[in-house]
Amino acid sequence: MKWTHCFVLCLFVLLSSLSKEAFAQATSQCSGEASINETFSNGARWEMCWESRIRENLVLSDVHYTPPNGIRKRILSSARLSQLHVAYDDSDVTYNDVTQYGLGGGYRVNLAPADCPNGDLLYEQTRPAICRWRSKGQDNYRTASRSVSAESLTLFSVSQVGAYAYIVTWKFFSDGAIEPQIGATGALQRSSDKTELPFGRVLKGDNETLWLSHTHNYYWRLDFDLGLSAADDVVTESRTQLLQNGQRQTKVERFTTEQARVIDSDSPVSWEIWDNLSGDTPGANDSGYRIEPIRYGHRLERKEKEPYTEFDFFVTVANECERFASQNARFNPDCLNHVAQFVNDESLIDADISLWHRVSFHHVPRNEDQRHMHTHWDGFAIEPVNIHKSTPGIDLANNRAPVLVAIEDKLNPVGLLIDWQLVANDADGDSIRYAAKNLPDGLSITDSGHVTGTLTQVGSFDVSIAYSDEIAKSEDTFTWSVQEANQVKTGKSGFLGAAGAWLVIIFLPLVLLRLLLRLCAKL
Amino acid sequence: MLSSKLSKLLIYFGTLLHASQALAMQCDEGQRFEHSFASGASWTFCAALDEHHALELQQLHYQAPGDISRRVLQHLHLGQTLVHYHDEPKANVLIGENKLGGQSLKILNDQICDGELHNVGNTMPTLCSFVRDSGLLAKYNLRPGLHGQQYQLFSVSEYQGLTLQVQIGLSEDGRIAPSVTLSGQATSTTTDARFGTALLNPITNEPMIGTQATVLYTWRMAFAMNDDEQNDTVEEFNFKLEPSLGNRRPMIVTNLTTEALRDTNRNVFRGWRVKDINGSGYYLDPLNSGFGFSDNSNNWAQFDVALTAFNKCERHSRIGPLSSAANKPAQCKGSLDDFVNGESLLNRHPVIWYSMSRVFRPKAEDYPVISSMQTEFEIIPFDWTPTSPFEVIK
């Protein structure tokens, strides 16, 4: 073989051995200020590109997550707020702020350092466009003796549309979770001088103005591209219902065509998007993300006028032409106009998929809203499902299991008072929790391993002691014999008795023999 | 002019009176707490760790910047927690048949508490308080953004390996945010895939089906605004779409004058306000609610909200043998189904019971320890102050 052939072959083998994930890691669709790369203290990493568009303002793309000690994975090809629909209670006039005005361009507020006191400002050309804020989030997990707080990366931009200021926010957590949020602040927008009308409230200090109640409907568009291929993602819906016998059954439906779904208060629901599926329904080896609607207390529906308001969640085939949840044709004249129309029975199989989720908030004016409102936040959670092999933040591989100090079999009399502390050692210094099965009657154990009580029942008990550092669990067994008080003594004497019997067995014939010999001698 | 001076004088004396009440506040149970923010806002209250429901705040006073300290709630605590594993016919009752306080309370340490540890009647620390930044509190155009903080307290209880972090957040702007965070160990498995999720045990790598569970949290909020006068009232707000009125939504406000079981209704944006005789109040907007918790054993649990007249012994939405023993069993029996018995709310302190449910669907990330699942709601000041109390802040 010529050396050049060998070199080519070796190169081929080398390239083949590199995972496609690793190859993907080398690619990035942005650089410099437009690129965000955040590594957390647990080793997890988020990478993405951002841009500020005239309509949507903050749009994230090419979003990758690397779990702690895991492999980098593509999560989203893009994510953005796709409409901000506002309906006032006094009329059927609605506003579609993203398409009518836009959240970017001149509507985007140049942030000042005071807006971002704990973070850094990122610039688009010369304008400070977004705040990047790293913080400690809520607890990632908690056991009785330890807790870990997930860190988070917060990105936000502020858009001033009329009197309202919208804080378009994305949070990325070190445990792989994502939270899109929007904060509405600024000032109340619309009012009426007809204070007798029942469509708003007259606020303190201004008896001649009725501030109108209204609903904000936020629509997010999420273009998931999990893993290597954009065309193999699968969406399922999990719905739980109470059965007559009191159990609750969850049915999982795999979507094969585009969908528009409604949250039903009688059956808790979540939606999952999977990086392909190994079977017809999700299994232990499938991984993806779950959208759990946790802010669903308000719902604006005016389906005769705006058919898309009937639904809370949409699954569509990704189409660049389908950009806004409503008034889409305004900027894409050759395309359909709203997200309910995008759902037109296209197959989701082998298709790139977009998810759309709506959250509503009905705002009743209160005195505290004048002159400037406190932010009211809305959003939802996107959580990883089987993206990690176990709880992120717990190092299973390097955890050392506790070791119980050996317990010998026990023999005690009934009625004995027991006060016994189990002892196990843990090389990592973790707290240890204990449990026991089949303890003799009258005894109990605390989770700190303190066995107390009085033995009340004669018997032989095969006791099992489970002990755990809350990660690794071990079990030891021993036999605990409880006998009548006198039997325990008898037991000892019984042992002596048995020895006595042996003495009798061995020596009695000798004694008898001696007596016989004496008798014979006398005779 | 004279009347203006007189009213100012009255307000001045009223301010002194209320401020002196807050300062003089004695705790029947627990320990007195006070936290002030840089803006001048402050919270004053007694925190206790009840044997049955763990964390409880009493005599909760809020002082907005530039305002006086005024009481909002007399009692705030968990009124019940149900944990229903889907393959079982009944839910486990954590308060009454079990306990979240006493021996179930976990001892906290610096690793768990990124703030200040408190003993509160125990020999070991079982309560944590800390302050967290809550982001932009207000922003208007080019005015510098106003950042807010929240003061939080929590205790941690354990039930069969699960941990429940019972937490109450008190924001600078007067919001009160009770929550429970579920974590700990998911030990329940099933053999029936209808009731669980297929997983691999991360330690043994063997297949298993982790049991799904629905959790219901009921919070009890006993309002007693300002003083001990029993003059707070409860209103229900509905905003029903009227196609005949051109798709308008008239605001219908109804005074609730007798005890009632109520549902949230997301289509009419239903909410409830408790207000004092001056019109200052707090609003419960059930934004994080909507999924019902039907249950064959607990009729009351299907309702999202219950309104009752204050009764000292009606502390838990279902009184079990343990909690009734502590509450004079002859008087304290039954559940919310019994408490809501047509009593008038007039001239009584109103109590709002608010329930929320979540479904725990196990995933690999929940083994060996459940990724935290927080269930939170807020009550917000509603005309508590005549304007935003932060207007003067730069």
What is the predicted pLDDT for the residue at B229? 87
What integer is the mean pLDDT of B202-229? 93
For the record, the structure tokens of B4 come out as 């203006």
Shortest alpha-carbon distance between residue B169 and chain A (Å): 12
Pairwise pLDDT comparison (B291 vs A70), residue with the higher score: A70
Which of B88, B156, B266 shows the shortest C-beta gap to A298? B266
Give the residue from chain B lying closest to A183, CA to CA: B136
Give the count of alpha carbons within 13 A of A217, CB side only: 25
Residue pair A25/A37 in contact (Cβ under 8 Å)? The answer is: no
Residue pair B157/B106 in contact (Cβ under 8 Å)? The answer is: yes
Residue pair B145/A166 in contact (Cβ under 8 Å)? The answer is: no
Tens of pLDDT along A71-99?
Answer: 999 999 999 999 999 999 998 789 999 99
Record: contact B287-A364, CB cut-off 8 A: no
Q: What is the DSSP string of B266-333?
A: TTTT-EEEEE-TTS-EEEE--TT-------SS-GGGG-SEEEEE--TT--SSB--HHHHHTT-TTT--
Stretch (H or E) spanning A306: none
Residue pair A240/A248 in contact (Cβ under 8 Å)? The answer is: yes
What integer is the mean pLDDT of A201-205? 96
State how far the alpha carbon of B126 is from the alpha carbons of A264, B123, B165, in Å.
39, 9, 11
Lookup result for tokens 């650089």: A31
What integer is the mean pLDDT of A394-405? 86
Whether B124 shows a pLDDT value over 60: the answer reads: yes
- The winner for highest mean pLDDT among A109-118, A147-156, A207-216, B289-298 is A207-216
Q: Under DSSP, is residue B260 helix (H, G, I), strand (E, B) or coil?
A: strand
What is the predicted pLDDT for the residue at B330? 54
Nearest 5°: the CA angle B15, B17, B19 is 65
pLDDT confidence tier of residue A515, bands split at 50, 70 and 90: low
> Does A335 lie at the interface with B, CB-CB under 8 angstroms?
no
What residues of chain A lie within 8 A of the CB of B391, using their CB? 371-372
Record: contact A371-B114, CB cut-off 8 A: no
> Does A117 lie at the interface with B, CB-CB under 8 angstroms?
yes
What integer is the mean pLDDT of B193-219? 94
Q: Which of B173, B345, B247, B256 is nearest to A366 (CA)?
A: B173
Tens of pLDDT along A407-462?
Answer: 999 999 999 999 999 999 988 777 788 999 999 999 999 888 999 999 999 999 99
What ipTM score was computed for the predicted complex, to two decimals?
Answer: 0.92
Q: Tell me how far apart the alpha carbons of residues B300 and A104 are, in angstroms, rounded to a whole number.
A: 48
Q: What is the pTM of this model?
A: 0.87
| Those residues with Cβ within 8 angstroms of residue A246's Cβ, 6 or more apart along the chain or in another chain | B88, B89, B90, B295, B296, B297
| Those residues with Cβ within 8 angstroms of residue B121's Cβ, 6 or more apart along the chain or in another chain | B29, B30, B31, B48, B49
Record: contact A362-B195, CB cut-off 8 A: no
Chain-centre distance for alpha carbon B119: 22
Q: Tell me how far apart the alpha carbons of residues B14 and B5 are, in angstroms, rounded to a whole number.
A: 14
Q: Tell me how far apart the alpha carbons of residues B299 and B317 are, in angstroms, rounded to a whole number.
A: 11
Q: Tell me how far apart the alpha carbons of residues B319 and B221 are, in angstroms, rounded to a whole number.
A: 17
What is the predicted pLDDT for the residue at A433? 84
What is the predicted pLDDT for the residue at A27? 55
Stretch (H or E) spanning A353: strand A353-363
**Mutation choice for B interface testing from A250, A311, A369, A380 by most B CBs within 10 A:** A250
What is the predicted pLDDT for the residue at A507? 54
Q: Is B225 exposed, middle or buried (0-12, 13-18, 19+ CB in 10 A)?
A: buried
> Does B101 lie at the interface with A, CB-CB under 8 angstroms?
no
DSSP letter assigned to residue B107: P
Q: Tell me how far apart the alpha carbons of residues A241 and B290 are, in angstroms, rounded to a whole number.
A: 14
pLDDT confidence tier of residue B110, bands split at 50, 70 and 90: confident
Record: contact A199-B250, CB cut-off 8 A: yes
What is the predicted pLDDT for the residue at A472? 81
What integer is the mean pLDDT of A212-228? 96
Give chain B's length.
Answer: 394
Q: Tell me how far apart the alpha carbons of residues A430 and A313 are, in angstroms, rounded to a whole number.
A: 44
Give the residue from chain A lying closest to B142, CA to CA: A109
For residues A23-62, b (16+ Cβ closer than 10 Å) or e, as one string?
Answer: ebbeeeeeeeebebebebebebbbbbbbbbbebbbbbbbb
Whether B160 shows a pLDDT value over 50: the answer reads: yes
- Write down the mean pLDDT value for chain B: 90
Record: contact A213-B251, CB cut-off 8 A: yes
Q: Determine if residue A25 is left, alpha or beta; phi over 0 gives left, psi from -120 to 50 gives alpha, anything else beta.
A: alpha
Q: Under DSSP, is residue A407 helix (H, G, I), strand (E, B) or coil?
A: coil
Provide the residue type at A94 as one letter: T
What is the predicted pLDDT for the residue at A477? 95
**Mutation choice for B interface testing from A156, A210, A362 by most B CBs within 10 A:** A362
Shortest alpha-carbon distance between residue A51 and chain B (Å): 21
What is the predicted pLDDT for the residue at A499? 42
Whether B325 shows a pLDDT value over 70: the answer reads: no
Tens of pLDDT along B7-30?
Answer: 444 444 444 445 555 556 889 889
Record: contact A247-B359, CB cut-off 8 A: no
What is the predicted pLDDT for the residue at A20? 41
Whether A501 shows a pLDDT value over 70: the answer reads: no
Q: What is the DSSP string of B58-69?
A: EEEEEE-TTS-E
What is the predicted pLDDT for the residue at A265? 87
Sign of CA dihedral B258, B261, B263, B264: positive
Whether A1 shows a pLDDT value over 70: the answer reads: no
